[in-house]
Structure formats: structure tokens, C-alpha cells
Amino acid sequence: MSDVGVLLREWRGNRRLSQLQLAGRAGVSARHLSFVETGRSRPTREMILRLAEELGVPLRARNALLLAGGFAPAFAEHDLDGPDLAAVLASLRDVLAGHEPFPAVLIDRHWTMVDGNAAVGLLVEGAAATLLEPPVNVLRLSLHPDGMAPRIRNLAQWRTHVLHRLDRQALATGDPALRALHDELRELPGGLAPGTPDGLVVPLRFDAGGHELVFFSVTSVLGTPLDVTLSELAVESFLPADEETASFLKAR
């Protein structure tokens, strides 16, 4: 089998699509798709990109598919600290500042914190210095017993939410680092909440010096990224879920 055919078949299986379903979406025959997956037919660059689009393959993995098919990558990947991304990063930092006095962080594909606004200090206060040394993984920081976990009043519920979300992300991206992070965090203490959560969103109930702050999280991504690095960035913001939380944060 050709490498690209194997990879395409793995992505199709990951998305739980039959050859017939994917072929219909991509506008090709199921026979041709079968030939591509078994290596009997060499896909064109355009075919690889079309199938990757229908499969929702991340840009980084699309480049890997192209390389496996013998083609150059289609999507650039620039360094976060380089001049090419400076303008976009400056705008994203403005977004972080605009969320104050509510906490917000900029994260990469592995939940490593790229930057955060001043309000994040309230959440990480008292966390072990080792967890705050770069690179800081925000999920590890939140669920570790030396991090935020002792101050999360609904820890089992929040752990369940985080682990479920991370599991889905690892499945969707096929990223082994995310799967390893999920398995690591699952071993931390704190339990899991049974059943389906009540309410409209899963809240984060946080103890701030005896005050219970209640947040809901919002994830924002760039709408049309054509750069691998930018496609993997997200702003994770924590907005007040009640008036008491909003008033407390505004008064700080």
C-alpha cells in the first residue's frame, strides 16, 4: 500500500465514514477511492487536498498527507516568535486584554500557554512554581493537585468535562501527544462525575479566598487560517456565569 493511501484510510476510519460515503462527499467514485487507499492508484495533489477537506483533517496533517503522496506541503508553518506572525499575535494579545477583568489565555494545539492576561493570576495563585515554569500546560495546571485543583469546588465535574473534551480532540486530530496528555491527566486524583451534567454549560466553580466564582469557558479560533501555526492557536476565555462573579472581578 502507498503511504498516502494508508493515511487516508486511517483518517476515514477515524471519521467513521465508509468508502462510499467519503467518495460521495468528495465527488469521486468509490472504486477510485478504493484504488487510492490500496495503492493501486496514485492520487493527485488536488485529490489529496479534496479528500482531506472532506475528512476535516488539520492543516498539519494535510501537509503530512501531501508529503506521503510525493508533493510539497500546501500550508506554511511559521515560528510563533518570528516576524511573519507578529501582527496576528499582537491582535490576539489585544483580544486577551479586552477580556479583562475576566481571565483569558492563548494556547497552542497541545494546550501550552502562549500568553495570558493579567486576570489569569487570580486562577493560578498558590500553584506550585514547577507548574508555572514555561512551557505551561494549562490543562495540567488546572487538574494537578499542586495546581488549581484544590480550589475547584466541582473538581470531579470539571475533570470529566476536560477529559472528555481532550479525548475528543485527540481523536479528531490523531495527535499522540494529546492522547498521552489525556492518559496522564486521567491518572491524577479528583474523581469523575457520573451521568450527564445538569444545566446549559459545565461551570467552573472556583474558590477565590472564600468567594465562589462561577465561570463558563469559551474557545475562539481564527476563522480562515492558512498557516499551520495559526490554525492551532485558540483563545480560551473564562466568562462570569453569574452577577456575583462579574461584580467580584470588576471590583478587583
- Alpha-carbon distance of 216 to 172, in angstroms, equals 23
Name the phi and psi angles at 98, rounded to 5: -65, -20
Q: What does the pLDDT average to over 24-37?
A: 96
188-219 pLDDT, tens digit each: 999 999 877 777 789 999 999 999 999 999 99
- Alpha-carbon distance of 33 to 17, in angstroms, equals 12
53-96 pLDDT, tens digit each: 999 999 999 999 999 999 999 999 999 999 999 999 999 999 99
- Alpha-carbon distance of 15 to 38, in angstroms, equals 18
pTM of the model: 0.91
Q: Are the C-beta atoms of 203 and 214 separated by less than 8 Å? A: yes
92-135 pLDDT, tens digit each: 999 999 999 999 999 999 999 999 999 999 999 999 999 999 99
Burial 219-247, CB ≥16 within 10 A → b, else e? eeebeeeebbbbbbbbbbbbebbeeebbe
CB atoms within 10 A of CB 66: 20
Residue for cell digits 506521503? 68
Handedness of CA 48, 49, 52, 58 (dihedral sign): positive
Distances (CA, A) of 168 to 75, 99, 153, 175: 24, 27, 24, 11
Distances (CA, A) of 59 to 62, 173, 198, 224, 225: 5, 10, 35, 11, 9
Q: Are the C-beta atoms of 22 and 33 separated by less than 8 Å? A: yes
pLDDT computed for residue 195 by the predictor: 78
pLDDT computed for residue 242 by the predictor: 97
Q: Are the C-beta atoms of 8 and 22 separated by less than 8 Å? A: no
Pull the grid cell for residue 54: 472532506
- Alpha-carbon distance of 203 to 190, in angstroms, equals 16
Assess whether pLDDT exceeds 90 at residue 2: no
Confidence bin at 1 (pLDDT 50/70/90): very low
128-179 pLDDT, tens digit each: 999 999 999 999 999 999 999 999 999 999 999 999 999 999 999 999 999 9
Cα angle, residue 147 at apex, residues 217 and 247 outer, rounded to 5°: 45
Find, among 222, 249, 244, 217, the residue nearest to 233 by Cα. Answer: 222
DSSP states along 169-204 = HHHHHT-HHHHHHHHHHHTSSS----SPPPSSS--E
Q: Poorest-confidence range of 1-15, 24-38, 235-249?
A: 1-15
